[in-house]
Amino acid sequence: MKSVDVAVIGGGILGCFAARNLMRWNLSVVLIEKELDICTGITRANSAIVYAGYDNKTGSRKAELTVRGNASFDDLCRELEVPFSRCGSLLVTYDKESLAQLRRKWEQGIRNGVPGLELLTGGEAEAMEPMLAPGVAGALYAPTTGTVNPWQLGIAAFENAAANEMEPMLGTTVVGIRKTKFGYLVETDRSELRCRAVINCAGLSADRIQELCFPSDTHLLIDGAEYLVLDKQARKPKRVIFQQAQSCGKGITAIPCVEGNLLLSGVRKPVGEPFATTKEGISELKTSAVSLFPNLNMQQVIRSFAAARPNPQWDDGESIHDFSIAYPAPGFFSLIGIKTPGLTCANELGRYLAEKTAAFLDAHPNPRFTPHRQAIAKTNDPEIICLCEGISRGEILEAIRRGASTVDGVKRRVGSGMGVCQGSRCSFAIEQILREVWHGAL
């Protein structure tokens, strides 16, 4: 039976950053993920926004970690060689009665320590973003808001953790956890694992994972939103645009992605089938987008998808509005219901958990830890497989060498299949390369 210091359950962005930060300490760590690749759940369907921190209640863990995480994002992305755009954001309203809400958010942001916040008149907002429909009543400008590719960031953290000797256990499902005299026995569908501490980052299944060993007073209600992706040639705002609606608090969101596409996010609502779009939801999102941006060409939509998000609630049904971190027993840490701004805070949450775990295990800093990860570089290979994005055979082979085992896994590492044709021309060729690698031909 294998024995390690820490088992991290869940290979989404939170699990990957928990594992990466644990490697800063002299600890043996495994990361257990039920899928054959990492960052395939909540992380892959994400709005990609690095939030400024004005939306979180002053004094909450969310507020503290969001402001701190945002401030350190440039350095983090340089370490991991992941593109990051600090494009700023506008929270706009067309309703004069909502101006008081904007001022309250501005005041809260100032208390939280968010730098550079400004309240703008409607005219100032329209001058800053000419694509907006006329009639803006006012806006809140946050220059520190940014965008990043969420799955690239999670994969980069995973690769850095693995380079620092974290051991991945992919395609492995946790079926049981037992408290023992030495710590915990984690039972999987492949083997048993003895560990001194457990970090539960299982996303939509986090409450069920904890209940394998301890009762949980926190449960998850799943909601989500639908998204549209527009071609890189589409006109787009320069900044993230949040639409404030008096009726529901928030309308649609427009995100200029680091890759050059425009991402449109609909209003969050309870979902039927997680990660499934609906005809009604997509139609509503298109109508709202054109209302906000009259000159937006919806013929340039190249993809739609849906997200699922965990909303933590107490047993009595009351919503939990801060990050929910449970400590049901010494050495057992559960992230149950980490939602927006989880992407912004992923590294800070990972560092927090790693420090708590290291203190519990009396671990010492790891002098061999290196925080740097090298991205997959553009090659001089003349054989271009993905014509839309200019992705070469050499880049695809490197993605496979780093762990991609499917066409989607290659896409999330090098961006193949993300252009106008959405993989219709390159998917077969990438499948062929994968088969050649599997059969030892390469």
Q: How confident is the model at residue 412 (pLDDT cuts 50, 70, 90)?
A: very high
Query: Is residue 131 located within the same domain as residue 14?
Result: no
pLDDT for res 248: 47
Task: Output the CA angle 417-437-19, nearest 5 degrees.
Answer: 70
- Note the pLDDT tens digit of each residue in 231-247: 999 999 999 999 987 54
* Domain-terminating residue out of 260, 287, 306: 306
Mean pLDDT, rounded, for 347-362:
98
Residue 334 lies in a domain: yes
Centre a 10 Å sphere on the Cβ of residue 149 and count the other Cβ atoms it contains: 20
Q: Are 417 and 386 in contact (CB under 8 A)?
A: yes
Question: What is the spatial distance between Cα 16 and Cα 39, in angstroms, rounded to a whole number?
Answer: 8
Centre a 10 Å sphere on the Cβ of residue 163 and count the other Cβ atoms it contains: 15
Query: Is residue 396 located within the same domain as residue 412?
Result: yes
Say which CATH number the domain at 419 has.
Answer: 1.10.10
pTM equals: 0.95
Which amino acid type is present at position 8? Answer: V
Mean pLDDT, rounded, for 52-56:
96
- Note the pLDDT tens digit of each residue in 260-313: 999 999 877 766 677 788 899 899 999 999 999 999 999 999 999 998 888 888
- Note the pLDDT tens digit of each residue in 200-227: 999 999 999 999 999 988 888 888 889 9
Residue 253 lies in a domain: yes
Q: How confident is the model at residue 430 (pLDDT cuts 50, 70, 90)?
A: very high
Residue 215 lies in a domain: yes
Which of 132-136, 272-276, 379-383 has the lowest average pLDDT? 272-276
Q: How high is the mean pLDDT of the chain?
A: 94
Say which CATH number the domain at 244 has.
Answer: 3.30.9.10
* Domain-terminating residue out of 306, 333, 349: 306
Q: Into how many domains does the chain fold?
A: 3
Q: Are 165 and 146 in contact (CB under 8 A)?
A: no
Question: What is the spatial distance between Cα 230 and Cα 420, in angstroms, rounded to a whole number?
Answer: 9
Phi-psi region of 440 (alpha: psi -120 to 50; beta: other; left: phi over 0): left
- Note the pLDDT tens digit of each residue in 314-342: 888 888 888 889 899 999 999 998 888 99
Q: How confident is the model at residue 387 (pLDDT cuts 50, 70, 90)?
A: very high
Query: Is residue 169 located within the same domain as residue 290?
Result: no
Query: Is residue 205 located within the same domain as residue 319?
Result: yes
Query: Is residue 251 located within the same domain as residue 200?
Result: no
Supply the DSSP symbol for 300: G
Which amino acid type is present at position 124? Answer: E
Cis peptide bond N-terminal to 341, omega within 30: yes
Residue 49 lies in a domain: no
Encoded tokens for 174: 């946790």
Structural domain boundaries enclosing 168: 2-44+151-219+312-361
CA diameter of the chain: 67
Question: What is the spatial distance between Cα 167 and Cα 182, in angstroms, rounded to a whole number?
Answer: 21
Query: Is residue 134 located within the same domain as residue 234?
Result: yes
Query: Is residue 125 located within the same domain as residue 155?
Result: no
Supply the DSSP symbol for 178: E
Query: Is residue 206 located within the same domain as residue 230?
Result: no
Question: What is the spatial distance between Cα 128 and Cα 180, in angstroms, rounded to a whole number?
Answer: 60
- Note the pLDDT tens digit of each residue in 395-407: 999 999 999 999 9
Query: Is residue 284 located within the same domain as residue 429?
Result: no
Query: Is residue 185 located within the same domain as residue 332?
Result: yes
Strand partners, 168: 31
pLDDT for res 250: 61
**DSSP line for 1-65:** -EEEEEEEE--SHHHHHHHHHHTTBS--EEEEESSSSSS-SGGGS---EE--STTSPTTSHHHHH
Say which CATH number the domain at 198 has.
Answer: 3.50.50.60
Residue 193 lies in a domain: yes
Which of 12-26, 192-206, 238-252, 409-423 has the lowest average pLDDT? 238-252
Residue 427 lies in a domain: yes
Residue 138 lies in a domain: yes
Query: Is residue 397 located within the same domain as residue 430?
Result: yes
Mean pLDDT, rounded, for 179-190:
96
Q: Are 244 and 250 in contact (CB under 8 A)?
A: yes
Query: Is residue 235 located within the same domain as residue 300?
Result: yes
Gyration radius from the chain CA atoms = 22
Residue 424 lies in a domain: yes
Encoded tokens for 401: 């060498």
Mean pLDDT, rounded, for 170-193:
97
